[in-house]
């Protein structure tokens, strides 16, 4: 699509490239005259140009102009009509408008084959084949045109012996569910990943046995997703009015919302799931009413998005929650509550009408499935999830009444007194007293000499050390200081190396291949000297080889 849009001649120099078709030929400069893939502005330029074409032709083709501006996603058009005649007229007008810009729509598909008779010539559609090996996608969703249903496809993964975080994540990412129709299933995978992150496992470290069992059970359930078929059409034909019903709920581990659209005719009522969202609870512990409030805010935001997308007038919007505390928070001014509650209550009051919020019994709250999660087999035949509670499909729905709300109980905080015994190794703070390490080395050498002379006097030997410090004494003192630092900073590593045990995978110096020398100093193996030289060279910049050599051999 991008290559069909030309750049203004005065801007083509900004897309100048070097090019030669054959290696031996001289390099040429070329100006790219069309919108180019990979540039930041490419999506905007293409979409904006397409919308400009629709705006310019809006006077002659108002319907097609609206469709192009509203129902195009980059170069894919996803739209519909009420009947066959409207569908044919829509195809004609859209093709006429786009042809004036030099665009041709191809790969047409429809759930009614008669509509496609309007497509002729080289634009003729290719019949969709819903083979499991070659799935057809519509904006990432699987759409079966013959049955007019949305379906899900999960590819088979090879069996592996060791389950790791690296192998779990791509498997979960295969569940492409932008509408949230599978939120009760997806939330279980989110909770599973949250557990793995809490354990702070490495990407290639085997997961614990209990989570391993949960993952195997979840993976087996994914095969059932192939049997889930969701009707694309959710509105009744010739409906009189529409209603939106949103449900919100929270548990200690997650919270979620779901939205249903209710279409009413003279003799019939249809209720269908429109979309859903789920969120895992934060790692920081919080109260259940606060999580319920987070769910209410998520629902308010989702309802605003739904109302902006639907082109049909909505007679009534009902937002349901089973938390009377949340309803009491919403009925009062946001300034009444503490910061956490006040911020979210204020946002909900801005996004929704407080009179649209109602109380619902817990057993009727469909968002409970999202907050707690269910298996794929349970969701497959759960008619309540796909169409809502039975009272939502009745022609005369029960009279909505606001609950009697009492005084909101204040959040109680308990101060717990805990006695703990901590064993902390005292640190020798001599390193913080001197800024010059050479001076510190000499002071440590004198201390060691003093201790050695004391022992000599106790044992009544004449082996006393006097006079200026020797190089050997300073070297021994330096080694003692280094060993003291290492024992404080790498206590676990030194313990493992002393026992000839492998280091933990979480050790920060595992890649340096450390070992203990004859003086019990921890050293590193491999190519570390070369790494140090490269580091010094980078630090010195353009100082030259001699300066780097002096720094490498110099003493601190």
Q: Are 117 and 127 in contact (CB under 8 A)?
A: no
211 and 195 housed in the same domain: yes
439 with 539, same domain? Answer: no
- What six digits make up the tokens of 364? 């009727």
Residue 129 is predicted with a pLDDT of: 43
Q: How many CB atoms lie within 10 A of CB 8?
A: 7
351 and 242 in a common domain: yes
Query: Does residue 378 share a domain with residue 302?
Result: yes
pLDDT of residue 530: 57
Q: Does some domain include residue 546?
A: yes
d(CA 253, CA 243): 31
Q: Is 352 exposed, middle or buried (0-12, 13-18, 19+ CB in 10 A)?
A: buried
Q: Indicate which CATH number applies to the domain containing 318.
A: 3.30.420.10
Q: Which domain holds residue 62?
A: 2-122
Task: Tell me whether residue 154 is in a domain.
Answer: yes
Angle between helix 84-99 and 42-56 (nearest 10):
110
User: Is 552 a member of any domain?
Assistant: yes
Are residues 287 and 181 both part of a single domain?
Answer: no
**Predicted TM-score of the model (pTM):** 0.68
Residues 11 and 35 in one domain: yes
Residue-level pLDDT at 434: 79
Nearest Cα neighbor of 521 from 478, 474, 469 is: 478
How confident is the model at residue 532, as a pLDDT? Answer: 58
Helix, strand counts (H, E) of the chain: 17, 15
Is the residue at 403 inside a domain? no
**Residue 21 domain-assigned (yes or no):** yes
Q: Is residue 419 part of a domain?
A: no
Three-state SS at 179: coil
Beta bridge partners of 357: 319
* The pLDDT of residue 131: 44
Examine the domain organization and report whether 436 and 320 are in the same domain. Answer: no
The three-state (H, E, C) secondary structure of 213-241, written as one string: HHHHHHHHHHHHHHHCEEECCCCCCCCCE
Using alpha carbons, list the distances in angstroms from residue 346 to 38, 166, 226, 509.
41, 41, 42, 49
Would residue 129 count as lying in a domain?
no
Specify the pLDDT at position 429: 67
Residues 372 and 477 in one domain: no
The tokens for 242 are: 């529409």
Same domain assignment for residues 535 and 512: no
Contact at 8 Å (CB) between 207 and 215? yes
Please tell me the total count of domains within the chain.
5
Domain boundary among 205, 229, 253: 229
Output the tens digit of pLDDT for each of the chain's 556 residues: 888 889 999 999 999 999 988 888 899 999 999 999 888 889 999 999 999 999 999 899 999 999 999 988 888 888 888 888 888 899 999 999 998 988 888 888 888 888 888 776 555 555 444 344 444 677 777 888 778 888 888 877 667 778 888 889 988 888 888 999 999 999 999 999 999 998 888 888 898 988 989 988 888 888 888 888 998 888 888 888 899 999 999 999 999 999 999 999 888 899 999 999 999 999 888 899 999 999 999 999 999 999 988 878 899 999 999 999 999 999 988 888 889 999 999 999 999 999 999 999 988 899 999 999 999 999 988 999 999 888 888 877 655 656 655 556 565 555 556 565 655 555 556 777 777 888 888 988 999 999 888 888 888 777 788 888 899 999 998 988 888 888 888 888 888 888 888 888 888 888 878 888 888 888 887 655 555 556 655 666 656 666 766 665 654 4
Do residues 324 and 440 share a domain?
no
Same domain for 331 and 182, yes or no, is no
**Residue 244 shares a structural domain with residue 386:** yes
140 domain-assigned: no
């Amino acid at each position: 699509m991008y290559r069909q849009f030309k750049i203004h001649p005065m801007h083509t120099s900004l897309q100048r490239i070097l090019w030669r078709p054959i290696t031996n030929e001289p390099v040429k400069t070329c100006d790219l005259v069309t919108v180019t893939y990979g540039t930041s502005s490419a999506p905007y330029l293409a979409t904006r140009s397409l919308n400009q074409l629709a705006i310019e032709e809006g006077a002659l083709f108002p319907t097609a102009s609206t469709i192009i501006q509203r129902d195009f996603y980059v170069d894919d058009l996803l739209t519909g009509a009420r009947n066959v005649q409207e569908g044919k007229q829509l195809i004609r007008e859209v093709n006429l408008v786009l042809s004036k810009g030099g665009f041709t729509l191809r790969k047409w598909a429809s759930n009614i084959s008669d509509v496609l008779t309007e497509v002729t010539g080289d634009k003729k559609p290719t019949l969709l084949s819903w083979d499991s090996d070659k799935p057809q996608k519509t904006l990432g969703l699987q759409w079966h045109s013959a049955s007019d249903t949305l379906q899900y496809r999960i590819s088979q993964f090879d069996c592996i012996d060791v389950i790791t975080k690296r192998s779990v994540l791509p498997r979960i990412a295969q569940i492409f569910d932008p509408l949230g129709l599978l939120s009760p299933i997806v939330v279980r995978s989110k909770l599973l990943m949250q557990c793995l992150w809490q354990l702070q496992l490495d990407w290639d470290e085997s997961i614990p046995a209990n989570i391993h069992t949960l993952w195997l059970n979840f993976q087996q359930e994914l095969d059932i997703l192939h049997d889930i078929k969701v009707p694309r059409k959710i509105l009744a034909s010739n409906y009189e009015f529409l209603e939106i019903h949103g449900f919100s709920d929270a548990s200690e581990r997650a919270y979620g919302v779901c939205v249903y659209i209710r279409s009413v005719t003279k003799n019939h009522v249809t209720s269908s799931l429109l979309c859903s969202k789920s969120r895992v609870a934060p790692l920081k512990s919080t109260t259940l009413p606060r999580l319920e409030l987070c769910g209410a805010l998520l629902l308010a935001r989702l309802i605003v998005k739904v109302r902006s997308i639907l082109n049909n007038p909505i007679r009534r919007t009902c937002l349901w929650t089973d938390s009377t505390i949340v309803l009491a928070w919403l009925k009062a001014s946001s300034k009444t509550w503490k910061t956490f509650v006040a911020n979210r209550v204020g946002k909900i009051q801005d996004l929704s009408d407080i009179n649209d919020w109602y109380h619902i019994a817990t057993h009727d709250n469909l968002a409970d499935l999202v907050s707690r999660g269910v298996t794929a087999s349970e969701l497959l035949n759960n008619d309540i999830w796909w169409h809502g509670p039975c009272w939502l499909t009745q022609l005369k729905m029960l009279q909505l009444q606001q609950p009697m709300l009492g005084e909101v109980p204040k959040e109680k905080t308990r101060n717990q007194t805990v006695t703990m015994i901590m064993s902390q190794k005292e640190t020798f703070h001599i390193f913080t007293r001197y800024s010059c390490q050479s001076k510190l080395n000499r002071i440590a050498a004198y201390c060691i000499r003093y201790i050695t002379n004391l022992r000599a006097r106790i044992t009544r030997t004449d082996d006393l050390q006097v006079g200026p410090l020797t190089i050997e004494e300073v070297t021994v003192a330096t080694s003692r200081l280094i060993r003291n630092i290492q024992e404080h900073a790498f206590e676990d590593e030194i313990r493992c190396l002393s026992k000839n045990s492998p280091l933990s995978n979480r050790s920060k110096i595992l890649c340096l291949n450390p070992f203990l020398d004859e003086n019990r100093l921890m050293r590193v193996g491999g190519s570390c000297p070369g790494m140090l030289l490269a580091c010094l060279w980078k630090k010195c910049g353009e100082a030259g080889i001699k300066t780097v050599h002096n720094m490498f051999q110099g003493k601190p």
